[in-house]
Amino acid sequence: METTQLTSQFFDLFGHKASGVSTAPGRVNLIGEFTDYNLGYVLPCALNFSTQVAFNTRADNQIEVYSLNYPGEKDTFSVDGEIVQGESQWGNYIRAVVYVLKKRGYQLGGAELLITSDVPQGAGLSSSAALEVSIAGALNKAFNLGISTKDIALIGQQAENEFMHCQCGIMDQLISAQGEQGHALKIDCDDLATESVAIPDDLSLVIVNSNYPRKLVESEYNQRRLDCEGAAEKMLVPTLRNANLALLEQTKNQLTDNEYKRAFHVLSENQRVLDTVDALSNNDMPALRDLLAASHNSLRDNFEVTVPATDGLVEIISKALDGKGAVRMTGGGFGGAVICLCRASEIDAVKAAVDAEYQPKFGLTADIFVCQAGAGLLVEEVS
Ligand code: ADP
Ligand code: MG
């Protein structure tokens, strides 16, 4: 939405002007899946879908928040005293950010917040991180807290981990806070060092959400974490970041089958992230195609987090691309989305193939988003 449109709605709602607008994007991970909590590499890209928050302070220490995505609903709570869960499901994300800011010792006052977003929710594009980062950015500005973008990301992650009880890694919030227009961001999850990686102008990002109903995600996710930790322990290293494929082979007979396969995925996936950075710099489509295909196959066979619907989408799209593009599942697995990198001239063929083949095979309708690499958190004053 245009900033002026949002601030004019803010005026209609609260009867005075907003002092600023905070904007933070959703994201897609190009490659580097299940490497984050093993302190490896990831390569996400911010999208040109974003969440915006118009804001102003108020004198009474109450936070009053509306979302244009949830008309007729609002959340109000005091920043004094303990921050607890409220009635509004989405309002809890705002409470979560306030909870963490207070826990970290920041002084907050009351605020009026109006949210709007074109990030599809629950489609694997991390609308929750976009919300946390945009809210933290708004409060940071409103109360002059002087928080860095890296800490805004960490605050968003902590909000999701401790208040929303979702054990996500740092990737989603960090790319939303630090993304750069036209670039992906290589993140080293060990020390959070980042490197911007230009996305070639003629490369399109197509995200296809399988809409497969995700089940058992949490228990399966935790089991994968335990397998990775077990493998590291038996290799006598603190985390898989400190291991390599040679060490894995030497230790193979001490590991369970699953520990070996999970570790093999993580170690080979880290290398694929580094190779993808090179392939993007060279705009080398055959290399991108092979790297994304190898990532997908490893997620299917070694990490075992794909489902027939996402395997099917990858198959349908690869066939349509006929070697002229790259595709793999992206995100937490057990459903979710696939990412396709191709030239603009291939997009129609991809759409047509998904429309024709996915529903009859899997009984589900896929959503297709053609995206660009957008910018990270931006907080503007409104005059
Ligand atoms: P995603 O994969 O999109 O991050 P999540 O389930 O983690 O899916 O987060 C979606 C939740 O985030 C929504 O149910 C809602 O509570 C909150 N949310 C996201 N965007 C908005 C918005 N624009 N306004 C209010 N709440 C939002
Ligand atoms: Mg989320």
Residue 135 CA to ligand 2 centre (angstroms): 15
Pair 165, 255 in one domain: no
Contact present, 45 and 184 (Cβ < 8 Å) = yes
Which of 12, 80, 151, 172 is an active site residue?
172
192 and 319 assigned to the same domain:
no
**Do 294 and 220 fall within a single domain?**
yes
Pair (187, 217) in one structural domain: no
Q: Find the 173 Cα to ligand 2 centroid distance in Å.
A: 10
Residues 181 and 211 in one domain: no
CATH number for the domain including 78? 3.30.230.10
Q: What's residue 355's pLDDT?
A: 98
Q: What is the pLDDT of residue 247?
A: 98
pTM: 0.94
Task: For residue 157, give the DSSP letter.
Answer: H
Find the residues whose C-beta lies inside 6 A of ligand 1. 51, 67, 69-70, 89-90, 93, 115, 117, 121-122, 124-128, 131
Are 134 and 170 in the same domain?
yes
Distance CA 323, CA 61 (A): 58
Q: Which domain holds residue 230?
A: 204-371
Task: Give me the pLDDT at residue 216, please.
Answer: 72
83 CA distance to ligand 1 centroid (A)? 20
**Is 172 considered catalytic here?**
yes
Residues 8 and 95 in one domain: yes
How many structural domains are present in the chain?
2
Residue 213, classed as helix, strand or coil, is coil
141 shares its domain with 30:
yes
Residue closest by Cα to atom 20 of ligand 1: 127
Strand order in the sheet with 204-209: 325-330, 337-342, 204-209, 367-371
Residues 75 and 162 in one domain: yes
Token pair of 232 as six digits: 């590291």
In single-letter form, the type of residue at position 266 comes to: V
**Which of 9, 21, 128, 163 gets mutated to test ligand 1 (max ligand atoms within 8 A of its CB)?**
128
Q: 19 and 110 share a domain?
A: yes
DSSP string, 311-360: HHHHHHHHHHHTTSEEEEEESSSSS-EEEEEE-GGGHHHHHHHHHHHHHH
Residues 220 and 327 both lie in one domain: yes
Q: How close are the terminal C-alpha atoms of the chain, in Å?
A: 18
* Amino acid 383: pLDDT: 82
* pLDDT mean by block of 10 residues, the chain; 383 residues: 95 97 98 96 97 97 98 97 97 98 98 97 91 98 98 97 90 97 97 96 96 85 94 98 98 98 98 98 98 98 97 98 97 94 98 98 97 96 91
What CATH number corresponds to the domain at position 273? Answer: 3.30.70.890
Q: Are residues 141 and 260 in the same domain?
A: no
Amino acid, res. 65: V
